[in-house]
Each structure stands twice: as C-alpha cells, then as structure tokens.
C-alpha cells in the first residue's frame, strides 16, 4: 500500500532529534512521498535543507501562511520573496509543486483580516498565472474563504487561467464541500481530525467522493487516534487512511491508491518518481462530474500543547 502525505512539516524543530528516523518510519508504513508546505522566510532554510537531502521524496511548496501576515510590517516583502522564489527556485530545489501554505485564519485575531485577504488573493493569482495548484489553510474564516474561492476561480477562468488546489485539513460539513467542489477543480485534505469522536469532517466524509480526497498529517500537529496528544508524524497517515476507508465503506488499499492518484494529478508528480502514477492511471482518475452549480477540530488544550498555530 503506497501513501502520499500531502501536508507534512517534517522540517519543523519538533523533529530535530529524530527527523531521519521519522522519515524511515513513514517509509515502513508505505508513505513514499511527502509534500512540504512553506510558512514564511524564517523556515525556508530548514525546508530547503530537507528537500536537498531527500530530493524526489520530499516535495516543496512555496507560500506565505496567513498568520505570518499578522502583525508583520514587511508582509508584502515576504510576498515578493515568494514570487521571486517561485520563478527562480534555489539551487538543488527543483520546482515547487504548489503555492502554499496560504489562506485565511481569523482564529487568533481578526485585526489583520484585510491584510490576510490581500495576501491570499495575491497568492491565488500567482498560482493561476504559473499553472500551479494552491494548498489552502482555513480557520474561523469559512464564509470568507468560500466567497473568495468562488470569485477568484471565476476571475482566473475569465483570464484563460485556472485556480485549483487542495483545502488542507478540511474541517467543515458536506454542504461546504459541495459548494467549494462546484467552484472548480478542488480536492480536500483529510487528516487526523477525521479520527476524533466529535468531528464535523468525519460526518461529512461519507458524503464526499473518494476522487475528491487526499490524505495528510499536518505533522507535527493534529495527530490521529490512537496517537492523540502526541507529536504527529507522516507515518500516522496510515491511521487516517484506515478511518476514511471505514467511513466510505472501502478498503484501506482502495483509499490509499485513489488518494495517491488524486494527489499525483493535482501536484504534477511524475510517474517514475515516488508518489507518482502512470499515464493510464492519470486518464482513469475516477473523478466524478462537478455537483450542480472555527471549527478546526482542535481543542484549546491541544492547540496550547502543540505550539505554533501555523499548521
């Protein structure tokens, strides 16, 4: 069974003592590809170092996280850096597989709502111009997110471009899923929250198409049951795979295979590299037609326990 962790912060300081061991544990569980979202310039060196040590297996994104906009006098300078790096990746990095992690997060403060919206729209347009997907973080901002996605997807289409991507750590209900899915080519990242007893997304998954899902950990945050309260790691995506299979009435192997295909299609993973697929698989993605046209899952105690809110 081959798995792709579409959202891993393995470069985080939480893994400084056992990063290579965590990567080995992921491999032992069948996780052969990890997608690494950027946060801001403060963590770029760590991200790039991991990618250079594991090219092909660890795939980088580039973007500015919404909470890195908050109270940052030079957030527009950070945005300019994102654009420069997208056009000229550092030596040994290759291409970025997505613009991310970007989005809206009003959980910690609504004081920077206008700045976050400006940064988010700008990065959506950067991605659409370059033909790249986006990886989107949303917390306590779903009404605004839905409205922006509908507007920006339509605007990109009017320019002959396409805005597409993944809603990372999807935590909303089936109605929101259907609304976003109707907007365009969007996938939904399912993580450890789906394994929790009281979980809105666990209730939504049975109404979601498997062809619309990808798996993720968001490690070191949001660990799945039976590791809740511990540091999360990419190996644990197998627990989420098993839970999604249970919710959909499918086998874990089916879920692993289809979600890997979905990720490979969205992020342009080559067939001959880890996490890739064949041309035949690409043609037969099983994705259905579009439907007719903060509850993040974290408890306050978990958020406090797991440090940075930028996951």
pLDDT per position as a tens digit, 73-116: 999 999 999 999 999 999 999 999 999 999 999 999 999 999 99
**In angstroms, what CA-CA distances link 287 with 41, 182, 290?**
36, 13, 9
Statement: residue 297 has pLDDT above 70: no
78: left (phi over 0), alpha (psi -120 to 50) or beta: alpha
Q: Rounded mean pLDDT of 305-309?
A: 38
Q: Is the pLDDT of residue 291 over 80?
A: no
Domain extents in the chain: 3-305
pTM score of the predicted model:
0.89
Q: What is the band of 283 on the pLDDT scale with cuts at 50, 70, 90?
A: very low
* Cα–Cα separations (whole angstroms), residue 183 to 103, 163, 194, 264: 17, 10, 24, 21
- Yes or no: domain 3-305 corresponds to CATH 3.20.20.140: yes
The mean-pLDDT minimum among 1-5, 56-60, 259-263, 286-290 falls in: 286-290
Asked if the model's pLDDT at residue 145 lies above 60, the reply is yes
What pLDDT, on a 0 to 100 scale, did the predictor assign at position 209? 98
* CB burial string 219-235: b at 16+ within 10 A, e below: bbbbbbeeeeeebbbbb
pLDDT of residue 280: 36
Query: What are the start-end ranges of the E strands in the chain?
Result: 3-5, 31-36, 58-60, 99-105, 134-139, 165-167, 186-190, 213-215
Tell me how crowded residue 21 is: count the other CB atoms within 10 A of its CB.
11
């Amino acid at each position: 069974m081959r798995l792709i962790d579409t959202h891993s912060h393995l470069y985080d300081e939480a893994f400084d003592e056992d990063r290579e061991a965590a990567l080995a544990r992921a491999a032992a569980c069948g996780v052969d590809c990890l997608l690494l979202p950027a946060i801001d310039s403060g963590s770029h060196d760590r991200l790039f170092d991991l990618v250079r040590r594991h090219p092909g297996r660890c795939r980088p994104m580039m973007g500015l996280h919404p909470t890195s906009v908050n109270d940052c006098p030079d957030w527009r300078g950070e945005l300019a850096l994102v654009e420069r790096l997208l056009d000229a990746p550092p030596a040994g990095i290759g291409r970025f597989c997505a613009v991310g992690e970007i989005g809206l997060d009003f959980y910690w403060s609504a004081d920077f709502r206008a700045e976050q919206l400006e940064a988010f729209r700008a990065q959506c347009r950067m991605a659409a111009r370059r033909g790249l997907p986006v990886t989107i973080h949303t917390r306590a901002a779903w009404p605004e997110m839905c409205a922006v996605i509908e507007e920006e997807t339509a605007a990109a289409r009017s320019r002959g471009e396409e805005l597409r991507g993944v809603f990372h750590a999807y935590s909303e209900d089936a109605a929101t899923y259907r609304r976003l899915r109707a907007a365009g080519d969007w996938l939904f990242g399912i993580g450890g929250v789906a394994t929790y007893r009281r979980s809105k997304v666990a209730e939504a998954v049975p109404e979601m198409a498997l062809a619309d899902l990808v798996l993720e950990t968001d490690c070191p945050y949001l660990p799945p049951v039976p590791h809740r309260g511990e540091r999360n790691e990419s190996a644990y995506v197998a627990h989420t795979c098993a839970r999604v299979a249970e919710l959909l009435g499918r086998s874990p192997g089916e879920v692993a295979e289809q979600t890997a295909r979905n990720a490979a299609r969205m992020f342009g993973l080559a067939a001959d590299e880890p996490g890739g697929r064949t041309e035949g698989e690409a043609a037969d993605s099983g994705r259905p037609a579009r439907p007719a046209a903060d509850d993040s899952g974290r408890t306050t105690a978990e958020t406090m326990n797991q440090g940075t809110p930028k996951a």
